[in-house]
Amino acid sequence: MDPAKYADLFLDESREHLAVINNQLLVLEGRPDATGSVDAIFRAVHNLKGMSATMGFSGVARLSHAIENVLDLVRASPDPPDQELLQLLFQSADRLEQSIDDAVNGRESTDVNQAIAPLDSFAGSFQPVDAETESQPPESPPTAPAGTRRLEVRIRRDALLRGARAALVLQRVAALGNVLAVSPPQTSMETQAFDGRFSFGLQTDQSDLEIEELIRGAGDVESVTIAEAGTDTKESTAARHVRVDLRRLDAIMKLVGELTTAKAGLIELAAGRSDPTLEAMTRKVSHLVEGLQHEVIQARMAPVSQVFDRFPRGVRDAAREHGKQVVLAIEGREIELDRAILDELSDPLLHLLRNAIDHGIETPEERVASGKPAAGRITLSAHRERAMIVIRVRDDGRGVDRDRILRKARERQIPGQNADNLKTEELLELLAQPGFSTASSVSDLSGRGVGIDVVMTRLRSIGGSLDMESEVGRGTVFTLRLPPTLAILPALIAEVGSERYAIPLTHVAETVDLDARSTTRDGETDRLTVRHGTVPLSRLRDLVQLDGTGPTRQPVIIVQVGERRTGLVVDRVVGQRDIVARAFDMPRGTAPFFGGATVLGEGEPVLILDAARLV
């Protein structure tokens, strides 16, 4: 074999093993008697040894071997590892990571021997009391729940809101017992591509007949198939995996995107001629394309744990360095996101976490003095909120000090900021300005002038948004909102004059008619009264500097990001389309409220409005 071909795969999997090693070392640090952690570390190191030897990375292999030897002794010893040994293992894990990076980049590490020496000398000095009893800890096999059945349900093709119907089915069966392994996951049932077929495991003692009757009672159910899941559910539900290069998935996704655009063209073509054969074929093609699109999107989804699990080690190290005590809690590890988005998240999240440790969490003394527990708490969580994935970094530290930021803004003569009416959003914008950081001293972590602006730019480029809420003395919450997939997003197409623009549906709350009677003037802005109060209006015609006036009846698109809303006045709402966002290098001078571009079925290029910039 040609090892070079496997370098990416090697690197990918190595990172997973390194994450396991670091996280389990952290567990051990808290509970040195956690033998399960020693075993997990041992397995990871052992795998790394085998992988690196296969790749011909002898330095990595030798270092892994030396670590493995030490771990072997730890496993055999009745005493838990002490702090000194844990420190040695932490250091060795770092060296291991470094040597892997070096090896992949074609540099054979020279200092592997330096890393191996202390491990070998430890192994030499170690006198196990009872070295012969090398027993594999028995792994208790997962007990298969009895009475588990596998169900496949198909919602009628002509049913409206098939995803909601599926949710209704799941809600009903949940009353009978435990619902397991729903496929596809509910997030993707809410996309247009969901074809109404889904499956799940159900643990219940009800009869098949009763189950089927209950499911059919949800309405619009075409068929129900029930099968015994066998005694070992693990086997029946465990997917068989194959690793695929992300670039290959990107290429397939891009083709599917083109296909989606072509499909839209075909639909319009068919609509123009009343030819039943063409219409039938068009329906068939569009159904197939939607199915394909759905499958590819699924293939791209990965749980956020893949990124979240890298952080505990970094947080621990940063806390130590700053003399802070920090407990990191992680929630919602199973939430799934497009891999490409996930990859982009690592740096911004790390940045926010470091920021929380450096600026948010106080020293233990300060905390105790203000009546808080000595250890600060940072919570990293993921959950679904409607069509978006929401990730939060919450700390219970000192909060953002407005006065200090304002002072700094004045020093730098950033105009227009006034302490009394500075809203949190404006504060965030201020913090987001390049080079604006309130760290009084430059530390290794943050405060290097690379601040929230980097995070925001990164997030915008993938269609997300960032919000901050803070309370002095209580802490700060950063909220990231992201689309679950980059690939294809439903959007509203709006028109002014003869120009068309796309607004991602994830940020559209509703559309209403512009009614002069419910419009009021508030200084420079017009405000429109809608159900829950008033929203400021902006006119797309003005934004894109189009002369002339629109038609007498104009629709208003209520755009919402988080709690902020604005009404966008357009000439006409053309309709809803699935669009494929394309990377878009903004020419200099492009108005800042464009977030990308897409091509409609007719081949017409259309700019995508960035909702976060409008509200």
Partner 1 sequence: MSQTVLVCDDAIFMRTMIGDILRQADYDVIGEAETGVEAVDRFTELKPDLVTMDIVMPDMGGIDAVREIVKIDPSARVLMCSAMGQQALVVEAIQAGAKDFVVKPFQPSRVLEAVQRVLA
Query: Which residues of the shown chain bind partner 1 in the complex (CB under 8 A)?
Result: 160-161, 163-164, 167-168, 171, 186, 190, 217-219, 386-387, 505, 510, 531-532, 576
Going across the sheet that includes 594-599, the strands are 572-580, 488-496, 499-504, 605-609, 594-599
The sign one gets for the Cα dihedral 592, 594, 596, 602 is negative
Whether 165 contacts 155, CB under 8 Å: yes
The torsion defined by the Cα of 528, 529, 535 and 537, in degrees rounded to 10, comes to -10
Q: Which phi and psi angles does 295 have, rounded to 5°?
A: -65, -45
CA atoms within 13 A on the CB side of 551: 13
Q: Which is nearer to partner 1, 75 or 216 (CB)?
A: 216
Give the Cα separation of 492 and 506 in Å (integer). 10
End-to-end CA gap in the chain: 55
Going across the sheet that includes 326-331, the strands are 326-331, 376-385, 388-395, 475-482, 465-471
Give the Cα separation of 345 and 464 in Å (integer). 11
Give the Cα separation of 426 and 414 in Å (integer). 12
Q: Position 429: which residue type?
A: E
Give the Cα separation of 41 and 416 in Å (integer). 55
Give the Cα separation of 156 and 165 in Å (integer). 10
Read off the DSSP letter of residue 218: T
Q: In the complex, what is the shortest distance from the CB of residue 176 to partner 1, in angstroms, rounded to a whole number? A: 16
Q: Which is nearer to partner 1, 219 or 435 (CB)?
A: 219
Whether 226 contacts 212, CB under 8 Å: yes
Q: Which is nearer to partner 1, 164 or 369 (CB)?
A: 164
Helix (H) or strand (E) holding 174: none
Instruction: Look up residue 408 and give its two tokens.
Output: 């700094």
Q: Which is nearer to partner 1, 168 or 488 (CB)?
A: 168
Give the Cα separation of 371 and 352 in Å (integer). 25
Q: Position 371: which residue type?
A: G
Give the Cα separation of 203 and 183 in Å (integer). 16
The sign one gets for the Cα dihedral 330, 336, 314, 119 is positive
**Nearest residue to 176 via CA among 213, 224, 141, 227:** 213
Give the Cα separation of 488 and 129 in Å (integer). 62
Q: Which is nearer to partner 1, 217 or 449 (CB)?
A: 217
For residue 137, count other CB atoms closer than 10 A to its CB.
Answer: 10
**Nearest residue to 537 via CA among 514, 567, 517:** 567
Helix (H) or strand (E) holding 381: strand 376-385
Whether 3 contacts 52, CB under 8 Å: no
Give the Cα separation of 232 and 238 in Å (integer). 10
**Nearest residue to 567 via CA among 506, 482, 501, 509:** 509
Instruction: Look up residue 360 and give its two tokens.
Output: 């948010």
Give the Cα separation of 44 and 14 in Å (integer). 9
**Nearest residue to 153 via CA among 196, 214, 110:** 196
Q: Beta strand 605-609 with 499-504: parallel, antiparallel or unpaired?
A: parallel
Instruction: Look up residue 94 and give its two tokens.
Output: 């770092």
